[in-house]
């Protein structure tokens, strides 16, 4: 019986979790990128890193790595 109550309480706690308000809404990063570059090219590493830092609140190291993994050169 205690196990069932523990499972129900854990499920209720997880259901009460909400995503952080700071997460970007789908498409807003694209809008931010267009504000920075009228002809944004995600394959251009300089543009990709700049957009990552400005729009996704990243840092140089992680943005550079992420852009490289996405195929930017």
Q: What is the pLDDT of residues 6-64, one digit of tens each?
A: 888 777 766 666 554 444 445 788 889 999 998 999 999 999 999 999 998 889 999 99
The contacts found for 19-25 with CB under 8 angstroms, 24 or more apart, are 24/55, 24/56
> For residue 27, what are the domain limits?
22-73
Q: Is residue 7 part of a domain?
A: no
Total count of domains within the chain = 1
- pTM surpassing 0.85? no
Q: Is residue 4 part of a domain?
A: no
What is the H or E stretch that residue 64 is in?
Answer: helix 60-69
Q: Is residue 58 part of a domain?
A: yes
The set of residues, in sequence order, having a beta carbon less than 8 Å from that of 20 and lying 6+ positions away, is none
**25 φ, ψ (degrees, to nearest 5):** -80, 145
Q: Is residue 40 part of a domain?
A: yes
Q: Is residue 16 part of a domain?
A: no
Distances (CA, A) of 44 to 4, 19, 51, 56, 67: 54, 31, 11, 17, 9
């Amino acid at each position: 019986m205690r196990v069932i109550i523990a499972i129900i309480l854990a499920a209720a706690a997880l259901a009460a979790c909400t995503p952080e308000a700071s997460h970007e809404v789908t498409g807003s990063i694209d809008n931010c990128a267009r504000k920075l570059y009228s002809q944004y090219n995600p394959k251009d590493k300089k543009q990709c890193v700049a957009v990552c830092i400005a729009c996704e609140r990243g840092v140089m190291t992680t943005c550079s790595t992420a852009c490289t993994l996405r195929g930017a050169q």
